[in-house]
Structure 1
Amino acid sequence: MRGQPTDTEDPEEIRRELLYLRKGRGYTGKRLAACRALRQVLGGLDLPEAVLRERLVFAICSLRDPDADVLLAVYALGEEVAGESRLQLRRDAYGKAHGIGREAVADRDTKAVDRLLVQLITGWYPKSPLPLRVPESHNAIVIASIHTRTIVENRRHVETRRWIRFMATFDGAEYVAIASPNAEPAYAGDGVRVQVVPVENGYVHRFWFPEPLNRGGLYTLESRIESDPNDDRWLTEDSMAFHEPTRSARFEVVFKGERPDIVWQFSGLTDVERPGRPSADRVLQADKNDAVRVTFHDQHGGLWCGVAWRSAL
């Protein structure tokens, strides 16, 4: 989508890394080290390789046959292909054992990668880094990534743009509902129709897609909220409550004109607790463009996270 920021944790990047991991000798610790997005979704960049490998194997084994068997083979994680240094040889060995040709194996393992991606994003597998309990999601979706970019000028809101990348966990949903204090976004994405439903203290936006959602399908919503000329209040916070399981949430705030005296991040707070108080380990420093950025992982349960700032009166 035009103007959408890139994010190394986007599901498409995870999928590319899963496909890459099949090549050559298959899974090795060195090859996994090059897969930043995959390591993040498995629990974090700072975890030992042995832990990440175990989680990947559990995620693969949580799939139905023949997906699990074919992925263990092509990733060289199965005993029957141990020592095979080429992907084609591992496919040949699997194909011989199951009575199918190399092209059929390639088609099978590529489709299995797509289903493995669903398991990794939803966390529906033993030893998942976070049991997201996706059935509690109101929309039957898991948000893979949210990127929010807000511009503040002389303490007042100018514009907020938000990109939401999500995965459907069930077939057939016709729309996704998102609550907002604003009447409607300026843009919702190509082919997406927005229905605005007034509710107490805000609105519910129903984003209707051209076709019903497909399980494992990836979708993007984009919105732009411009300043209200009748609102002269100072903006002191950019945050969200995460009612839907969300794997990655990135906040970016650009300050123009007058700069705040202190900016900090917060997460895991209730509505009445937010934005908390700044502490040394939560203070954010602006870059040369007067922008601050912070990324949170695995948000859920209706708790708030985001960025807050204060200026001396």
Structure 2
Amino acid sequence: MSRAVIYEKFGGPEVLAVREVPEPHAGPGAVRVRVTAAGLNPMDWGIASRPELAAQFGITLPAGFGYDFAGIVDEVGTGATGFAVGDRVHGGAMGRAVADYLLVETPPSAAEMLWHTPEGITDEVAATLPVAGMTAAAALAAIELRSGDTVLIGGAAGGVGVFAVQLAKLAGANVIGTASESTFEFLRGFGAQAVAYGPGLADRVRTLVPAGVTAATDLFGTETAETALALGIPPERISTVAAGPNPPGGVRGTGGFDASPDAMAHLCDAIVAGTLTVPIAATFPIEQIRDAVTQQAGRHVHGKIVITI
């Protein structure tokens, strides 16, 4: 037997439980990963608490939990290619990441991801990259961010935001990030100018950058996208990742699955080079999954939360 986080009804952290489940084994075309770390994302607890969102991702009860993971390949099925026993890997598996073992097809299916983990990147860091890192890369690519831009990033201190701010700086952009005042110093540590979200955002941005903003990405809801439109930014230079199927004003909706094929390699290269850092706010053992999700869902975490397994 092995362990996995399972929930049998939709709800808050209280529905999550560590259960014994049959140990899976790699069949034809698949590899088995011994999971060592799983990074949490807002969509994880969103799926577990909202049946309508779970349905969009094809999740039915009882369900496993989490998407981002890192670990070691310990079984390779017949015909599986690209990976060998002992390879360090990271990737994504919808509703299955927080478990001792998971199976991934090779090549991965449309809802899965699997990459080799480079030397110099820990499993805890690797487990934060698939959703947050790829989403940030896609959000900036959608607005064709370039050197000299002044970009407004909504939700800049969140899990996706810390990647977006750093990637934007690496691209040569001036970064304005929306956040609560308690996170201003945290954001400034990444080279961003911070501005409080909420009513009056457009006026505060005008005061902060009289020369104007040239691009924007909204990583939380629609406030930043709507503000960017009010500031006169063309819709094609505004992206959203959490606005649903109909973003406001014709701005560009995107997500991690839209990231370029080489986006993960660029993220990893930057981490190894020391030009991109991944702040890990806390780690929790799998037995404390409820505590971890409670903290992550509080929306005031500076960086990523990781489950160690």
Normalising by structure 1, what TM-score? 0.26
Larger RCO (CA within 8 A; separation ≥ 6): 2
More strand per residue: 1
Between Structure 1 and Structure 2, whose CA radius of gyration is higher? 1
More helix per residue: 2
Normalising by structure 2, what TM-score? 0.26
